[in-house]
Amino acid sequence: MNIHREEDAMAQQDRERLVELKNVVVEFESSGGTFRALDEVDLSIWRGDHLAVVGESGSGKTTLGRVLVGLQPFRGEFASEIGGARSALTPARTSRQRRQRVPGDISIQMVFQSSESSLDPRWTAVAAVAEATARGKRPSAAQRAEAERYLTLVGIPPHRHRAKASELSGGQRQRVAIARALALKPDLLICDEATSALDVATRASIITLLTELKHDLGVTLCVITHDFTTARALSDTCIVMKSGRIVEQGATAQIISNPQAEYSQQLLAAVPRLQVTGPRPADEPLMSALDRTILTGQKSD
């Protein structure tokens, strides 16, 4: 654990440590006994970080995201720091408090894999975004206008702002979910497999959008993903999780080029396209070509 840390420590000087987890444990009870989904996780996220959480299915990535956003009870320490004021985020403090924009308190938003569950299909795109800032009240004209600005920012054209969520494509719904999260001006935006349910072209366009947002808006981003392709495209730093534990962390490019933990090596070995450097063979599936484009910066033909 904690490999490639020295240069990270240098880069973190003078930045705000938004969240700090120490010894965080999540356990689930089942008929077979107690299952530990997070096992003594230590993690800091600094303002401006673009962090990826990578691991196989079941490694605890979503559970970690749910702890961060306040949806998952846990044991251990979780502190946030805003404007120099440090406060403990106990499991008892409501997720609503953390997910809303309360002055002086940290705001953490999460975009999930499927926008089906987070967007009411009967709402229009603009209502879905304005509702987030209106906190249950009727949105004001100013809140609706701001919602429209966020929708335009994420690439929803004005003529679609009044379309119902059920009338939008999967990619457009994910854009609305991202606009809704951004409208609350979060200190930290978590995207949990936000592109995995999308087709290859839409997935690439959402990755491009997130890349632009992290640069243009200076969003602190935590991307939860099972694949290094997305991690490489969206993150500078990376943690690799296995069985609820962090087995490696450091600069994403360094982990991809020189993984230290055996598990990271296995994960990367399962991605043969990482080694591909030449032009796409005619029979290579488009998905591999896209992944190669993102990983190597080469244009697909």
Ligand X SMILES: Nc1ncnc2c1ncn2[C@@H]1O[C@H](COP(=O)(O)OP(=O)(O)OP(=O)(O)O)[C@@H](O)[C@H]1O
91 forms part of the interface with ligand X (CB under 6 A)? no
- Per DSSP, the three-state class of 160 is helix
Fill in the amino acid letter for 76. Answer: G
Gyration radius of the chain's alpha carbons: 19
57 binds ligand X (CB under 6 A): yes
Q: Whose Cβ is closer to ligand X: residue 36's or residue 164's?
A: 36
Strand partners, 35: 28
User: Which residue of 18, 52, 61, 251 would you call a contact of ligand X, by CB under 6 A?
Assistant: 61
Minimum CB–partner distance for residue 270 and ligand X (Å): 15
Interacting residue with ligand X among 50, 180, 214, 226 (CB under 6 A): 226
59, 80, 288, 293: residue in contact with ligand X (rule CB under 6 A):
59
Q: Is 234 in the site for ligand X (CB under 6 A)?
A: no
Minimal CA–CA distance to 248: which of 258, 257, 237, 239? 239
Alpha helices by DSSP H, listed for 219-282, are 228-234, 252-257, 262-269
Tell me the window of 44-52, 56-64, 175-183, 266-274 that interacts with ligand X (CB under 6 A).
Answer: 56-64
Interaction between residue 63 and ligand X (CB under 6 A): yes
Q: Is 28 in the site for ligand X (CB under 6 A)?
A: yes
- Restricting to residues 131-190, name those near ligand X by CB under 6 A: none
The single residue among 21, 49, 55, 151 that binds ligand X, judged by CB under 6 A, is: 55
| Secondary structure (DSSP) of 102-120 | -TTS--EEEE-S-HHHHS-
Structural contact between residues 41 and 242, judged by C-beta atoms closer than 8 angstroms: no
Quickly tell me which residue has 């997910």 as its tokens: 99
The residue assigned the tokens 């209502």 is: 127
The residue ranges that bind ligand X (CB under 6 A) are 28, 35, 37, 55, 57-63, 226
